[in-house]
Amino acid sequence: MKPHSVNQHSPITTSDLGSLPWWRGAAIYQVYPRSFADSNGDGVGDLAGITARLDYIAALGVDAVWISPFYTSPMADFGYDVADYCDVDPIFGVLADFDALVARAHGLGLKVIIDQVYAHTSDRHDWFTESRASRDNPRADWFVWADPKADGTPPNNWQSVFGGPAWTWDARRCQYYMHSFLKEQPQLNVHNPAVQDALLAAARFWLERGVDGFRLDALNHALHDPLLRDNPPAPADGKRRTRSFDFQQHRFSQSQPGVVDFIGRIRALCDEYGAIHTVAEVGGAQAEAEMKAYTAGEARLNSAYGFNFLYAPALTPALVAETMARWPGAADATGLAEGWPSWAFENHDAPRAVSRWCAAGDAVAFARMKLLLLASLRGNIILYQGEELGLEQDELTFEQLQDPEAISNWPLTLSRDGARTPFPWQAQSEHGGFTGGTPWLPLSPANLARAADRQEADPASLLHWTRTLLALRRAHPALRHGTLEVVHADAAVVALRRRAQGETVEAVLNLASYPVPLPVGLGRGRVLARTGGADATTLPPYAALLTLLEG
């Protein structure tokens, strides 16, 4: 039996999305610019390289492309340390290259979403240069500054995500400045209305250049407790902790209620430009509650995503069922549905899913099942570049590492570099057709063998399977924007039902590495797609069925 099949004779219901915003149920493709396509041979991807490959992205059947930071930056955290919010770093090109990218994307029917980083800047940003110069300059309170304790130690016990205290001493002001991440990423004082105004002005700059949305990086880190109260210790749970950050509950260093008011200002600005999509990255112990708070009603963000799947050590029916049960889409007692979630299994910060969730020998079957699951979820779905090829986590030596978090916490923190290695375009090219020079990170032979050109030539490849699933999701209103019900979850199998506009689509998936009988009453509809050898009685390892139920 073929590794997957699609019922080409099933009637496809055309989704009437005319009354819904374009992003409702959208499939979004994330591009990490450094590693996608290099147009000038310097070993680092760039905006012109992305533009040259937009046809490939459009052919997947996604609705939008999300581009990770390309702004002026000293690259201490590879672009998330922004030195100028309104310009392109020379590594990636110039503003004209960005304008060309937007024009080409729109010509192909793709929306363009870009990152906005509002919690911190680079220590090379002009704002910080001025702020640190004295305690009485116009931007003196644009960042989080505090006096030391009497003994000269930091003002409180807050810890950086990347390790060590969240405070660095600055001799210019004889004060500490806060940084939730690297010391090169000083924390903005977003409580200050002038700081909010400056950030919104930067957003407007890109809206005027035609962007269609923003992904808001680490948004719940944007405000701190002004009283600088100590965080309480994390409860004793027996878990091994590899970072000092993990020894605390982050009650005061992040996730402050004022974030919601700032969100209202972001939404009001975006509404001036029509159907602009806003999605927040939300991590931490209270992520679910914050996701809902940030997306409630019509005056906040359109969507948010947490880390439910991104760092999960295993993909289990319980994980899927518990996560999806919180976002069913049904109206509550007030007659309103909860906000609109977004889901990702992989991104530039998280290990590749096939390396986390299955044995190496099962990667092909697992990747197919995983993508069918992603296509079946309620909310927006985000594919990270190379996920459609089944790329695995590349292993790098310490000498090859670029990731500051991994270098700081070696060898206990898995390097983010392993998910950032270059995109393999051509199997027979030394560097996968990514660059004509020496790539900034090496590409493994295993991922080179999964190159896009090789999969393009194979109708049974994961690349073609991805296109099939995205076409089905776009064609069926139940999959695109319907409600979700978990109808079955046991040790191996999870089944989801999506409903909208009079149709019901059911996904039944075996998440286990062993065969199981098809649960009674499931998989009885007209088959839209199947993978792993699933049939009317049996679900082999990592098999799945997508069916359109009658009536």
So which residues are the catalytic ones?
Answer: 217, 272
- Local structure of 346: helix, strand or coil: coil
Residue 246 C-beta-side C-alpha neighbours within 13 Å: 11
Question: Which pairing describes strands 213-217 and 111-117: parallel, antiparallel, or unpaired?
Answer: parallel
Among 447, 425, 463, smallest CA distance to 39 is for 425
- Local structure of 548: helix, strand or coil: strand
In angstroms, the CA 394 to CA 402 distance is: 13
In angstroms, the CA 127 to CA 118 distance is: 13
Q: What is the DSSP string of 465-508?
A: HHHHHHHHHHH-HHHHH-EEEEEEE-SSEEEEEEEETTEEEEEE
Residue 80 C-beta-side C-alpha neighbours within 13 Å: 21
In angstroms, the CA 540 to CA 517 distance is: 8
- Across 152-263, the runs of DSSP E, i.e. the strands, are 167-170, 175-178, 213-217
In angstroms, the CA 457 to CA 95 distance is: 36
* Cα→Cα distances 168→127, 134, 159, 235, Å: 17, 16, 11, 27
Contacts of 127-135 with CB under 8 Å at 24 or more apart are 127/198, 128/186, 131/186, 132/170, 132/172, 132/173, 132/177, 133/172, 133/173, 134/172, 134/173, 135/173, 135/175
> Which one-letter DSSP state was computed for residue 149?
P
